[in-house]
Amino acid sequence: MTASRRDSHAGQDLIVRDYAEGDYPSCRSLWAELTEYHRLIYADPSIGGHDPGAGFDDYLAMPNRARLWVADLDGEIAGLAGLLDRGTSGEVEPVVVTEAVRGQGIGGRLIDRAVQEARASGFEYLAIRPVARNVAAIRRFHAAGFRTLGGHVDLTMDLAPRRHEWLPGQTVHGLDFGY
């Protein structure tokens, strides 16, 4: 499905459309921006290695990548979102909106598109897995309808010295966790 919806967005045209090869430089830059944000929230400059955009290349090569969309705001790529096929379920991965236009509903439009496509694909569930410290994303995803803890909760144990400190303050089932 390549159909897109054009809306007026703060006086600009916003189109959510399928990713095209010409979008590669902008999308790789968005991936680097997301990686830099993860470096910031974890206070760990090593996240993503020496090339913070390289993860986008790995993402494009994933065999279970079902769809990828971009948010085109007056001819500029302002965001991207993808859908992974996990068999009977789908996973929204990634969702990235450039910092200059965050909080303006662009991510919500991208998520809406992923939800529509997941339904059309016949998935029984749709998951989204932000990193634990991306509180802003978790709040936005919750507001978008992701309100159930899924089939797995990732619990981790340090086996080597950390490059960052875990923050205290998360409780699940009455148990305290760092994040």
Cα separation, 85 vs 116, in Å, equals 14
pLDDT given at position 11: 56
Q: Which helix (H) or strand (E) holds 9?
A: strand 5-9
pLDDT along the chain (179 residues), means of 10: 49 90 98 96 94 97 97 96 97 96 94 97 95 92 91 85 86 89
Domains of the chain and any CATH numbers:
5-152 (3.40.630.30)
pLDDT given at position 10: 55
Q: Are 71 and 78 in contact (CB under 8 A)?
A: yes
- DSSP secondary structure of 86-129: -SSEEEEEEEEE-GGGTTSSHHHHHHHHHHHHHHHTT-SEEEE-
Question: Which two tokens mark 134?
Answer: 């991306």
